Structure 1
Amino acid sequence: MAHLQVADEQYIFRPETRNKLFILLGVGVALFVLGLILAMRSGGHHEEAGHGEGHGMIKTENLVASTEKAAAGDQEEHHAAAAEAGEGHHTKGWKERLFSSLWMNNVFFTGLGIIGLFFVAIQYAAQAGWSAGVLRVPLAMGNWIPIAGILMIVLYFTTGHDIFHWTHHDLYDANSAEYDPLINKKAPFFFWPGHAGGFPIFYIFRMVLFFSMWYWFFTMIKKNMLAEDLENSTSYWYKNRVISTWFLIFFAVSSSIAAWDWVMSIDTHWFSTMFGWYVFASWWVTGLATITLICAFLKDAGYLKVVNSNHLHDLGKFVFAFSIFWTYIWFGQFLLIYYANIPEETVYFIERMTTSPYSWIFYATLILNFVLPFLLLMTRDAKRQLSTLKLVCPIVIVGHWFDFFQMVTPGVMQQNGGLGFLEIGLALVFLAVFLLVALSNLAKVPLVGKNHPMLQESLNHHI
């Protein structure tokens, strides 16, 4: 009887829900326009940035000075690192701030789409039964992947020169005053098989390949899941197991390279061997929080009869555990760089820890992404309560939005960055459109796969 109750569940994307998202979109557009006008009037950076600009300059200049003293044997590379750290001397305007925010938001929401697919693939590859009733939620999130891909390519060709320092051809000309030997060594990673400073063939090829393959895997898995609704056969489940396994192998490589390409290459002189893991950890826990939050709201609205407090407990455990995992990666990366104390590595954190407006965000991310989830989700009961999950998940999502802000903005804007109406407005626009896409696609298919071979296990799930 329970099986029949959940089999025909269909999410209805009600007009009132749609209207709320359009209101959110309107508020986001209004804040964005207001922020853009204020940024244009103030010369580009937020009033907060002006407060800390001199302080940040002094800190960076002190760092560069200490770099020169400490690195007598490696002057050329250290000079290049110091030069990039000092790029804040060239005032960044409203255009760079706009482009930086667009790029950062698209990378962040790309993560939500791809993690939707990743979550589904993990469940198939692990032969998990508990999650059979919630798979349609992350599947709906995966519909964002093609939109994110198109936006990424368009934004690169629109904003690339302002975001990515390595795109300027003078850096690769030995006769130019702008010549940078360190960046020149990295040229094949961006431009192969073309010439350095030309069209980044290899870079664009990777971007197109990753999104194309992610979307192909998504369409194949989705097609099998929907075919299973029409034909009660385990063959589709076995097919998805194989496809998911191949996707996970591809994703392991592509997600790391994407992190290097789309985020780490903004700070061209700086690198971290842990950065691929770091971006994945941030994407993963944000995606888990989004899946959990949507499930919580659906359950609250009377949907997802298959979901009980045991399923919520598992989702809450995921958010709790991977908040700690993200903190472990964050601390590991920070500790290694702090302990080694190599100037071209430490400049990355000095810029973020000592310059307004980044300094308060630097510490806020640790509170939002570790301290609060850890304390609020520590007990068994907390993970089983809709009210607690609806409190913690937005905290995690906002906290990791700050995390991506810290990854992208300082590298583009240096001491001229800001966090104001422009950034908040754009985030709300992306959020509203993302939810419109996800929820409208969720409403097109049954909310639960009635012929999933492990649905009965999910119905009887107890921990």
Structure 2
Amino acid sequence: MAEVHVHYDLNEKYTFTPELKKKLMIGMGVGLVLLILGVILAYAGIGFGHHEAHEAGKAAQEATKHAEGGHHGATPLTRLWANLWLNGVFFTYIAAMGVLFVAIQYVAYAGWSATIRRVAEAFGAFLPFTAPVLLITFFLGGHDLFHWTHHDLYEKGKATYDPIIAGKSGFFFFPLEAGSFPLFWLLRLVAFIGIWYVLYRVLIKNSVAEDYLTDKTDFSYHKRNITIGAIFVVFFGLSESVSAWDWVMSIDTHWYSTMFGWYVFASSWVSALAVLTLAVVFLKEKGYLKMVNENHLHDLGKFMFAFSIFWTYIWFAQYMLQAYSNIPEEIEYWVARHDGLEGVYSPMIVMNVIINFLFPFLFLMTRDAKRKEIFLKITAFGILMGHYLDFFVMVMPGTVKGNGGFFLMEIGTLMLFACAFVYVFATQLSKQGLIAKNHPMMEESLHHSI
């Protein structure tokens, strides 16, 4: 049962210590060094798929052969762009899902989460950092990552003309002339992340302003955030699906899935829940959030457990329906990941299901497991790594083809983004009180018991 008579300090603030800052800066530095070293080794043919050095060099030469419509194979530079794109998309979704969690709590009039809401609020601060990464990567490497950007695909009469991709030109380009500048696509990227961030800043502003209220019966800021939260939930529901089509599904331009928006949502949402759980447990271990009890942890464990099963349902439904129907435009996506591309990704498909379904399902099945910090930490870390692998399998086969793998470049990029995310998250967390002390339902959260 919750401790009813304990007095908690609701004015506590998180201190982003110099020691932690130093560790994160070192982590970013090591990640950058590994990334650069990975690129150099890839050009030398080391860690670049199943190919030898001379084949890597040959692929690099082919990168210049666009004039005649001959689309090149993957190069080490393509793999760099793919890694930047993968991590940019993955951490953008985690940041946005943190905002979604807060918005849902407001809309649902949830009281249990009042003590941990500031932790989730800090996620959105990373959005201004991933948006430039995505834009720069697209302008520098979009021609390598996205097949639909090649203009000769839209020119009738050419051997490279692709009627399927040409039929989708209106979704990418504006004006609608085939092969024009992908303004429509880019406007969506900027608008989605921009609106997510603007709504996030409004939520944060109202949440912090509520801390300074002297009238405990003044719920004006809370009511405003309920409205903003409802707007965010509706807009995000629509824009997240379209962003999944734009940022991930369009990599395999011929392929489509009507469930893909839900699939990306499920993977991103449970990843954000895992990060939230890790952050809450970390803060408790450092002496913060004393009012967060095993009942709150139990709820976080239930969320991870439930949405791991939800992700599995979406994964199986998408895979089963497309594999059973055996339509060429649909099945080629799965063939590339199962048997094609020299079998590079075949083990990852199996690992994907084991890590993202069996592991959390078995580990969090019991009530006690959901209430123990060590179990939650292990499961949350496994889920986070598993869904990073999930995004890896979504992005890499369509970009680097059979030259995929997990070597220094991949390790370095992941370290760089992960440490940067934690740094920005911790910085935001330290800017205001760690507890939304004037939250109308704070008493319910303090006495939360299930």
The answer to whether the superposition gives a TM-score over 0.5 is yes
Percentage identity across aligned positions?
50
Query: What amino acid does structure 2 have at the position aligned with 1:309?
Result: E
Are 1:116 and 1:139, in contact at CA under 8 Å, matched by a contact in 2?
A: yes
* Cα offset, 1:198, TM superposition: 1.0
* Cα offset, 1:294, TM superposition: 0.4
Correspondence for 1:258 = 243
Query: What amino acid does structure 1 have at the position aligned with 2:357?
Result: F
Tell me, in whole angstroms, the C-alpha distance in 1 between the residues paired with 2:144 and 2:48: 21
Tell me, in whole angstroms, the C-alpha distance in 1 between the residues paired with 2:183 and 2:100: 28
Match of 2:106 among 102, 117, 124: 124
Correspondence for 2:56 = none
Correspondence for 1:303 = 288
Correspondence for 1:149 = 131
DSSP-derived class of the 2:365 partner: coil
1:79-98 CA-to-partner distances (Å, cap 9, x unmatched) read xxxxxxxx999531101011
Matched, 1:352 2:352: no
1:294-316 CA-to-partner distances (Å, cap 9, x unmatched) read 00110111101120000000001
Tell me, in whole angstroms, the C-alpha distance in 2 between the residues paired with 1:376 and 1:261: 35
Correspondence for 1:461 = 448
Tell me, in whole angstroms, the C-alpha distance in 2 between the residues paired with 1:2 and 1:201: 59
Aligned length: 427
Tell me, in whole angstroms, the C-alpha distance in 2 between the residues paired with 1:353 and 1:145: 34
* Cα offset, 1:345, TM superposition: 1.1
* Cα offset, 1:169, TM superposition: 0.8
Query: What amino acid does structure 1 have at the position aligned with 2:39?
Result: L
Tell me, in whole angstroms, the C-alpha distance in 2 between the residues paired with 1:23 and 1:316: 31
Tell me, in whole angstroms, the C-alpha distance in 2 between the residues paired with 1:407 and 1:367: 17
Query: What amino acid does structure 1 have at the position aligned with 2:107?
Result: A
Query: What amino acid does structure 2 have at the position aligned with 1:119?
Result: F
Are 2:147 and 2:253, in contact at CA under 8 Å, matched by a contact in 1?
A: yes
Tell me, in whole angstroms, the C-alpha distance in 2 between the residues paired with 1:460 and 1:366: 37
Tell me, in whole angstroms, the C-alpha distance in 2 between the residues paired with 1:118 and 1:363: 30
Unaligned runs of 5+ in 1: 52-86
Correspondence for 1:327 = 312
Deviates more, 1:419-428 or 1:286-295: 419-428
1:281-332 CA-to-partner distances (Å, cap 9, x unmatched) read 0000000000000001101111011200000000010011101110110000
Are 2:126 and 2:425, in contact at CA under 8 Å, matched by a contact in 1?
A: yes
> After superposition, where does 1:272-287 map in structure 2 within 5 Å?
272-287=257-272
> After superposition, where does 1:302-451 map in structure 2 within 5 Å?
302-354=287-339, 355-451=342-438
DSSP-derived class of the 1:302 partner: coil
* Cα offset, 1:249, TM superposition: 0.5
* Cα offset, 1:415, TM superposition: 1.8
Correspondence for 2:37 = 34
Are 2:174 and 2:181, in contact at CA under 8 Å, matched by a contact in 1?
A: no
1:8-45 CA-to-partner distances (Å, cap 9, x unmatched) read 11111112222222232232123212211110111xx7
DSSP-derived class of the 2:13 partner: coil
Cα separation, partners in 2 of 1:2 and 1:339, compared to 1, 3 Å:
same
1:236-255 CA-to-partner distances (Å, cap 9, x unmatched) read 11110011011110001000
Query: What amino acid does structure 2 have at the position aligned with 1:292?
Result: T
1:189-212 CA-to-partner distances (Å, cap 9, x unmatched) read 111334110101211111111111
Tell me, in whole angstroms, the C-alpha distance in 2 between the residues paired with 1:176 and 1:225: 58
Unaligned runs of 5+ in 2: 53-68
Correspondence for 2:200 = 218
DSSP-derived class of the 2:87 partner: helix
* Cα offset, 1:150, TM superposition: 2.1
DSSP-derived class of the 1:49 partner: coil
Are 2:174 and 2:180, in contact at CA under 8 Å, matched by a contact in 1?
A: no
Cα separation, partners in 2 of 1:89 and 1:151, compared to 1, 3 Å:
closer
TM-score, normalised by the number of residues in structure 1: 0.89
What do you get for the CA RMSD once the two structures are aligned?
1.8
Matched, 1:5 2:2: no
Query: What amino acid does structure 1 have at the position aligned with 2:437?
Result: K
